[in-house]
Amino acid sequence: MFRSFRNGFIAGLVLLAPLAATIFVVNLLRERIGRPMNEFLFYYIDPTFRHLPGVSFVLDVVAILVVVIFITGLGFLSNYVIGKFAVRIGERLISAVPFVNSVYKTVKQIVDTFSRQQKAVFQKVVLTEYPRKGVYVLGFLTSEARGEVQAKTGAKVINIFVPTTPNPTSGFLLMVPKEEVIDMDMSVADGMKLIVSGGAVSPEWKDGADKPESVQVENPQALNA
């Protein structure tokens, strides 16, 4: 009886987890963005009326929508001459502020790296033996190594980003000889799901007749874009 109760409780938690995560994200957006912007945008409304539960929720949602529209507008505007000019002026002002300029430049470099040709950041999902022979790790092919790394290793080396589980925003870089890298059929999205779930969510795959071959980098220039 206790085992059945435990299994039923765990099954209920699994069913409620997506809903709980959705509520958490919505509440976080409301607390961190909606509520402060509500106070800023609708300051002229009587506080007694504005803080009523129903009214406060509606105003928070409207405030979030205003922020989303504003950010979207900036994105569209940045594609035109006036927007680009405004961005340059803003970056010059930020560059004049000590400490803030270094933080801004670092974050901007990271964002530019991942936003420039997003499809070229993670080329494909690969498999390689790490940290020892017989143990495999799933990673993402980013590019073919060049320059000093390629010259001093004396081999064709592939750069592989290996995310951590279950938080894929951190990870480490492996530089592996190309012949030791196995190309996977799964998409980058499926590979990310597998990593985030800790291996619990495996993508469907129909067993092919051919065995996986070592990954081939057909266009090194595209990989390094």
* SS3 of residue 169 by DSSP: coil
Same domain, 105 and 134: no
Residue 144's domain comprises: 118-204+211-223
179-223 tens-digit pLDDT = 999 999 998 888 888 888 888 888 888 765 444 444 555 544 444
Q: What is the pLDDT of residue 222?
A: 43
Same domain, 15 and 62: yes
Q: What is the pLDDT of residue 126?
A: 94
Same domain, 72 and 135: no
Distance CA 204, CA 186 (A): 8
* Pairing status of strand 157-163 against strand 136-144: antiparallel
Q: What is the pLDDT of residue 140?
A: 93
What are the structure tokens assigned to 220, written together? 């090194």
155-183 tens-digit pLDDT = 889 999 999 888 887 888 999 999 999 99
Same domain, 50 and 61: yes
Same domain, 148 and 192: yes
Same domain, 42 and 104: yes
Same domain, 174 and 103: no
How many domains does the structure of the chain reveal?
2
Distance CA 41, CA 65 (A): 12
Q: Shortest CA distance to 163 belongs to which of 193, 185, 129?
A: 193
For 96, counting Cβ atoms within 10 Å of its Cβ (0-12 exposed, 13-18 middle, 19+ buried), the class is exposed
Same domain, 103 and 125: no
107-147 tens-digit pLDDT = 777 676 666 544 457 889 999 999 888 899 999 998 888 88
Same domain, 105 and 123: no
Distance CA 198, CA 59 (A): 39
66-100 tens-digit pLDDT = 988 988 888 888 777 777 788 788 888 888 888 87
Same domain, 85 and 145: no
CA–centroid distance for 176 within its chain: 24
Which domain-ending residue is among 69, 87, 115?
Answer: 115
Q: What is the pLDDT of residue 207?
A: 67
Model pTM above 0.75: no
Which domain-ending residue is among 76, 93, 115?
Answer: 115
Percent share of the chain, pLDDT over 90: 12
Which domain-ending residue is among 80, 98, 115?
Answer: 115
Distance CA 33, CA 174 (A): 38
Location of structure tokens 């890298």 = 181
> Per-residue pLDDT for 25 more than 90?
no
Kindly report whether the peptide bond that precedes residue 131 is cis, defined as omega within 30 degrees of 0.
yes
